[in-house]
Amino acid sequence: MKELIKLIDAKLDEFIQISYPEEIFKSMKYTLILPGKRLRPVMCLETVRMLGEDINIAIPTACAIEMLHVQSLIHDDLPCMDNDDFRRGEPSNHKVFGEANAVLAGDALLTFAPQLIIEKSTDLPDSTVLKLVHEYTKFAGAYALIAGQVVDIESENGNLVKSPQETLEFIHMNKTAALFRLAIRSGAIIANADEVVLNKLDVFAQKFGLAFQIYDDIMDEISSFEELGKTVGKDKKSGKLTYVSLYGLDEAKQKLRLLIQECYDIVNEYGSTIFEQILDKLKERVLGV
Ligand code: GRG
Q: What separation in Å is there between the alpha carbon of 125 and the centre of ligand 1?
A: 30
Q: Where are the domains of the chain?
A: 2-287
Q: Specify the higher pLDDT residue, 73 or 236.
A: 73
Helix, strand, coil share of the chain (percent; to 5): 75, 0, 25
- Taking the centre of ligand 1 as the mean of its atom positions, its distance from the CA of residue 63, in whole angstroms, is 15
CA distance linking residue 126 with residue 124, whole number of Å: 6
- Please tell me the predicted confidence (pLDDT) of residue 289: 67
Asked whether 87 and 34 are in contact (CB, 8 A), the reply is yes
Q: Which of 149, 182, 217, 234 for a ligand 1 pocket mutation test, highest count of atoms within 8 Å of Cβ? A: 149
Is a pLDDT exceeding 90 seen at residue 232?
no
Round the average pLDDT of the chain to a whole number and report it: 95
Determine the pLDDT at residue 240. 81
Is residue 95 predicted with pLDDT exceeding 90? yes
For residue 244, CA distances in Å to 79, 82, 168, 241, 272 come to: 24, 18, 11, 8, 30
pLDDT per residue as tens digits for the range 53-73: 999 999 999 999 999 999 999
- Angstrom CA distances, 41 to 27, 98, 251, 268, stand at 21, 28, 30, 20
Distance separating alpha carbons of residues 167 and 150, to the nearest angstrom: 11
Binning pLDDT at 50, 70 and 90, where does residue 231 land?
confident
Whether 237 shows a pLDDT value over 80: the answer reads no
* CA of residue 5 to ligand 1 center, whole Å: 18
Nearest atom (ligand 1) to Cα of 141: 1
Give the pLDDT mean for 206-217: 95
**Res 223: pLDDT:** 85
Average pLDDT over residues 99-114: 98
Instruction: Classify domain 2-287 by CATH architecture.
Output: Orthogonal Bundle (1.10)
pLDDT in tens, 5-27: 999 999 999 999 999 999 999 99
Residue type, 132: L
